[in-house]
Structure formats: C-alpha cells, structure tokens
Chain A
Amino acid sequence: MDQPQNQKLLAIIGLVVIVAAVGVGLAVNAKNQQTASATLAPSAVATNQVASTTATPAVESANTSQYKDGTYSATGSYESPGGQESIEISVTVKNGVITATSAQEAATDHDSEEYQQRFIANYKSLVVGKSLDSVSLGRVSGASLTGAGFNDAISQIKTQARA
C-alpha cells in the first residue's frame, strides 16, 4: 500500500475511533490519532450519508445518560500528494447507542463509485423496515450471524477503553 493511502486509512480509522469513542463515552484509543485531529460539535442537522453507512448497533453505551441524542461530527485532515485533504465523519447517537456513522471520504473509493454509477439506474424505491413481530415468517436471512464471540469482543473493547 502506498504511503498516501496508508495515511488516509489511518486518518479514517483514527476519526472513527475518536468519534465513536466520544459518541458512546469510551476513552479514546490514542494509537491512531497522530494523523487526525477532531473537533466535536453536536448538530441537529441530518448527515449526508454518501454511500457509507456503517451502523454499528452492536456498540452500546453503558452510560446512556451521558450523551444526548443527536448527530456528532468530526473533521480530520491528512497530507496527500495533491495537498491537504479532509474527511468528515458523523456519528448519530440515539438513546446512548450509535445508530449510524458516515464518512464523506468514501466517495474516493473509485471501484465502488464506478460500480455505483454504472448500476445506479437499476436502483428503485427505498426499502423500509417492518417489525419482525408484524410479519409471518418461516426463517430470517440477513446479517444476524453475529456470534457470541464478536459481541464479547465489543464488550472487551469497551472495558479496555474505560480502564
């Protein structure tokens, strides 16, 4: 991996960690911060979720009263051969739980972007959720393969971050 990409990745990881940490009341993991600086400001404005939704409902706060519902965003910058570039990460907190994160930077993922553009005409209506209880089903298919191990790891990270 070339250096600029590496830096960008570090900046993204750093920002996600920082925003996520502040958003759910974790201490900040300092390791990845050197390339990213973040300023946090609660905002009532809906975030522009450009093809980068990474909701992490698995991360729950043990301290639900500490953070108010809202969207928190942070901007970070990094050096690229083309000069200073910046990315913006947003985290939406509801009832102390991160319900959505987004990164404006994601559009620079050229493969994904090209794929999206090429396929965009095929996308039609927006889907919405209905409660499981309200639908008669035999089985459910999706992402619910989340095993105990993963959830356990998330808990451990929270514990470590608090220490």
Chain B
Amino acid sequence: MITFRSHRFEAIGTYWVIEAYEPVDDEAWADLLAAVAARIEAFDQAYSRFRPDSLVTTMAATAGTYQLPTDAAALFELYRELYEHTGGAMTPLIGGTLAAAGYDANYSLMPAAALLVPPAWDDVMAFAAPNQLTLHQPALLDVGAAGKGYLADLVGEVLEAAGLTSYCVDAGGDIRYRLGASEPAAAASEPAASAAEPLRVGLEHPADPTQVIGVAELSPGWSICGSAGNRRAWAGYHHIVDPRTLQSPRHLAAVWVTARTTLLADALTTALFFVAPDTLRRYYEFEFALVRADMALAASPGFSAAFFTADQS
C-alpha cells in the first residue's frame, strides 16, 4: 500500500505513529489528529495511575461507587476473564504492587523492602453495570497490561468514524492495521486474498533495540503487540510482577501476539507470562511467538513470520 499520510508524536509515555493508506486532505488530516489527541487525553485522564488528576488516582484514595467511561466495559470484562484464566495472576489490582516495586508515579524505581500481594478481585471490586464499579476499599488500579493496546483500538475507531478505513495505528509497538472496510482475513497468517498487503513488522530483539529477531507479516484486520521483560528493568523487577511470587517473571525474554483487536493482543502478551499458550487458546483466537530467556523460540504455526535463527547465520 501507499502511505499518503504519516504522523509521529509522543503520548502516554511512548511514541505513536498514525499512517493513512488512502488520500486525506490537509484540513481533514489536521482534524483527525486533533481528535486522536483528544481521545488519548481522555483515556489517560481516566486510567493513568501516574497522573494526580486521573480517575484512577481518585479511586486509589477513596472507596465508593464510580461511573467509569463507557470504554471501561470491554477493558474490565477482558481483565476479569484473564484473571480467571490465569488463576488470579493477571489483575488490575496489581497497581499497588507495581508502585511498591518502584514503578510509581515518580518513576522512583526504588523498590520497597517488601511488596504486598494484591487483594482478591471480589474482595475489592464489584460491577453493578459494565462501567459502574464499586470499590469496597481504596485500590490503585493498573490497566497497563491491556490499556495501550486498547487505546490503539480506540484511536482506530476515531479514524474510522471520520471515514478513514486504510490505516495503521502504532502505539509504541502495539499495532492495529486495517485496509479498507472489507472483512478481515480469516487468519493472521492468511495470504493476502486481494490487494490486501500484509504489514511487515520487525520483531525487536529483546536486549537490543537496534536489532530485530524476525519479521512478522501482519494481515489487514489484525493487530500485533509485543512485550519484553528487560527493557524497562530496574533492581530485579520489570513492568510485570507476578502476584503469586511477587517477582517479575524471568523465563521469557519476549512475547508477541497477533489477534483481531489490539486490546486482546496486548492483554494476551501479559497473560502469556503467567500461563501456557494452550490454556489461553481454548478461549481466544490468537497467534503467538515466545522467546525464552536463552533466546529459544516457540511460535504457533499460524504466527506468520520469518525468524532469524542461529543455525542459518
């Protein structure tokens, strides 16, 4: 496809790239970018635990019943499912634990002497409606395991609402790719049926951002997300802490997931740090690639990618 428009900016602590694969006139493009910025700001205002003025920060101080934005429904429904499927390991109640590990609003990166086990979901949270949440006690929620991918979807919806159907939203490596309003390919790996070109996505080396360990071919209608444990590492922790061990998982160097939404792809990259892929494939349609700490690779057959391996030098 031809890239007619490309815009790069920084938001929520990462880089973003929006590309349009169809013509957009100047005024429409400016309006689109403004709408995208407003959408990101609204999301951040609700869910950032790094902002003193966010809804999440308010909830960390005061118990009670909160009306969440309408976008909360899909987010917390998936969180609840994955909470069940991972035996409680993946939980938005990890916020306090992450903050204590040093991943806090001030990025102190100074771990407390002891981390606290996050409370059980039902002891703290009750949904009277999909976006009406009652907190029985104050709780620091963290939706970081799925929030960035979800925001890529929400930004995509903004573009689609304005009539743009061929585009890519790249939220710091969490990528939503669409080509036209046609039905998505039947599988992430399916060869292009028509003129639907796959997007070539480099899979970043977990220890070296100047290198890639392979190239995935992302079909239109699909999203890809990646997670690695070692780029944002400090004092023995990284951005994922297993509530069962209060340690950051070390067995995987990197995980990539392709799925039909960036929300699902992002959430599953974290879930795969806690449970085996087969467990999750009973419930969700996705493809994956896992790179173990020793750089050994495991990928599902449908994960369409060329990997660079040691034996081919």
A residues lining the B interface (CB < 8 Å): 1, 5-6, 9-10, 12-13, 16-17, 20, 29, 32, 49-58, 99-100, 103, 106, 109, 111-113, 115-116, 118-119, 122-132, 135-150, 152-154, 157
Contact = CB atoms under 8 A, between A and B. Distances in A.
Contact of A135 (B199, B212, B238): B212
A109 B229 CA distance: 16
A144 B294 contact: no
Interface stretch (B29-37, B38-46, B107-115, B133-141): B107-115
A127 B201 contact: no
Contact of A53 (B116, B250, B277): B250
Interface in B96-114: 106-111, 113-114
Interface residues of B, number: 87
A140 B236 contact: no
Interface in B241-282: 242, 244-247, 249-251, 253-254, 256, 274-277
Nearest to A122: B298
A28 B310 CA distance: 38
Most chain B CB atoms below 10 A, which of A51, A52, A129: A129
Interface stretch (B64-72, B75-83, B182-190, B213-221): B213-221
Interface string B201-226: 11111111111111110000000111
B44 to A, nearest CB: 13
A12 B213 contact: no
Contacts of B109: 153-154, 157
B246 A55 contact: no
Given A109-B247, A127-B291, A137 B200 contact: yes
Contact of A141 (B201, B231, B308): B201
A48 to B, nearest CB: 10
A82 to B, nearest CB: 18
A139 B199 contact: yes
B179 interface: no
A106 B18 CA distance: 40
B175 interface: yes
B228 A142 contact: yes
Contact of B212 (A6, A10, A140): A140
B310 A125 contact: yes
A124 B294 CA distance: 11
A131 B148 CA distance: 27
B120 interface: no
B201 A99 contact: no
A142 B291 CA distance: 12
B204 A17 contact: no
Given A53-B207, A150-B13, A141 B175 contact: yes
Nearest to B198: A138
B142 interface: no
A152 B108 CA distance: 10
B17 interface: yes
A142 B209 contact: yes
A122 B303 CA distance: 14
A149 B11 CA distance: 11
Given A142-B204, A146-B14, 6 more contacts: A17-B235, A111-B245, A125-B297, A128-B295, A141-B202, A143-B228
A145 B173 CA distance: 7
A36 to B, nearest CB: 12
Most chain A CB atoms below 10 A, which of B148, B236, B238: B236
Given A139-B17, A140-B173, A49 B245 contact: no
Given A54-B238, A116-B292, A142-B204, A153 B108 contact: yes
Contact of B173 (A54, A100, A138, A141): A141
The 6 A-B pairs of least Cβ separation, nearest first, read: A142-B204, A129-B211, A147-B13, A143-B228, A153-B107, A145-B172
A72 B108 CA distance: 26
Nearest to B216: A141
B250 A125 contact: no
A107 to B, nearest CB: 10
Contacts of B251: 51, 106, 109, 112-113, 115-116
B27 interface: no
B107 A130 contact: no
B310 A128 contact: yes
